[in-house]
Amino acid sequence: MKKILFLCLASSALFLIFTHPALIAAGCARGLDLWYTSVLPSLLPFMILSGLLVHTGLFHILNRAYAHVLKKIFHISESGCYVVLTGFLCGFPMGAKVTADLVKSGHISSEEGRYLLGFCNNVSPAFFLNYLCAAGLGCAEPPWGLFLLFYSLPVLYGILSRPFFHFSSDQGKKEQAVLHRPDFPMLDACIMDSFTTVTRLGGYIILFTIIAQFLNLLRIPEPAQIFLSALLEVSSGIDRICSAKGFSTVWKSVFACACAAFGGLCICAQTQSVLSESPLSVRDWLKGRLITLPVVLLLTYLYLSAAPVLRGYW
């Protein structure tokens, strides 16, 4: 059955490639531009630096600035605090990659990695404020209330889901004293690993952007096209939501925030890619997305509907 399904999909893909080369080229160009102008410059330096920090153990020194606060909030190890930092600041899929790196290097346990994966792999604040709010929704000023609401929900999920995971928050104390001197072989390994990862991410972005282009061939209502686009890829979904004519600004904001919170199947594939050599599963991340998604929809709508001061942002 699986072979028949695969053959059908492959045949359909070949048919579309030969019959609609313009759409293929447009999707490839858009995906490549998105990867080259946004993903590559924003993620590659962080991947190389994070790889060095993990391999040398120097991230423990960085942890001293914030770990005592995060340990009290989430009851995690000091090493796990580094995952929280990167997962909230660096964007998809850096949280998942750092989690996998720390699990593979033995700094955190697989159980702690599963817990952190559920809420520490989000869109970056720069993407949320610049791409979603400023470019997409046309906010004249950063909507800090909406920003705090958006990022407080994964934090709340992390706090509420902690009792369902059983690991010691004292793990990692032994590793804190182990520091390794960086050298060129280590740097070469971090660079090659980062380039391999970011290239795979580019492939997924191009593939899903091409698939999103074929939605234009479907004779379905605009809301259905918007939903499918948001389901596939986050940036294409936000573009379609914000350019839709049949929604008010409040509903555009609600749906755009929900799209950014979920990330789409493209982010799901990217997350699975960076977890492939670790004992972690993308299901733990996906579970967190599916649980928080309806909460994002509800609370964002209630907040925007009840806060008339936000009208000044558009």
Q: Is the pLDDT of residue 179 over 80?
A: no
pLDDT score at 181: 75
Q: Side chain identity at 242, as an amino acid letter?
A: C
What number is the average pLDDT over the span 27-46? 87
pLDDT score at 95? 93
- Amino acid 270 reads Q
Q: Answer yes or no: is pLDDT of 121 > 90.
A: yes
In angstroms, rounded to a whole number, what is the distance separating the alpha carbons of residues 84 and 170?
A: 16
Dump pLDDT digits (tens) for 17-36. 777 788 888 888 988 998 88
Q: How far apart are alpha carbons 61 and 176 in whole angstroms? A: 8
> Residue 140: which residues within 8 A CB-CB, separation 6 or more?
312, 313, 314
Give CA–CA dist 97/248, Å, rounded: 37
The overall average pLDDT reported for the chain is 87
Q: How confident is the model at residue 80 (pLDDT cuts 50, 70, 90)?
A: very high
Residue 309 has pLDDT above 70, yes or no: no
| 216 vs 232: CA distance, rounded Å | 14
Q: What is the pLDDT of residues 149-171, one digit of tens each?
A: 999 999 999 999 999 999 987 76
Is 289 or 170 the better-scoring residue by pLDDT? Answer: 289
- 136 Cβ contact partners less than 8 Å away, ≥ 6 residues apart: 238, 239, 241, 242, 256
Taking the C-alpha atoms of residue 123 and residue 33, their distance in angstroms, rounded to an integer, is 19
pLDDT one-digit tens code per residue, 237-270? 999 899 988 888 899 999 999 999 999 999 999 9
**107 closest CA partner among 59, 159, 66, 50:** 59
What's the mean pLDDT in 144-150? 94
Peptide bond before 93: cis, by omega within 30 degrees of 0? yes
Within 8 A by CB and 6+ apart from 5, the residues are: none
Q: Please answer whether residues 60 and 72 qualify as being in contact, where contact means their C-beta atoms are separated by less than 8 angstroms.
A: no
Q: How many CB atoms are closer than 10 A to CB 279?
A: 12
Taking a C-beta distance cutoff of 8 angstroms, is the pair 64, 16 a contact? no
Mean pLDDT of 180-188: 82
Other CB atoms within 10 Å distance of the CB of residue 161: 17
Q: How many CA atoms lie within 13 A of 206 on its CB side?
A: 14
Q: Which residues contact 20 (CB under 8 A, 6 or more apart)?
A: 214, 217
- Structure confidence at residue 175 as a pLDDT band (50, 70, 90): very low
Residue 308 has pLDDT above 60, yes or no: no
DSSP tag of 36: I
Residue-wise pLDDT for 47-67, tens only, equals 999 989 988 888 888 888 899
- Considering the chain, what percentage of its residues have pLDDT values greater than 90? 54
The closest of 250, 261, 262 to 308, measured between CA atoms, is 250
Q: Say how far apart CA 147 and CA 129 lie, in whole Å.
A: 8
**pLDDT class of 111 with cuts at 50, 70, 90:** very high
Residue 299 is predicted with a pLDDT of 94
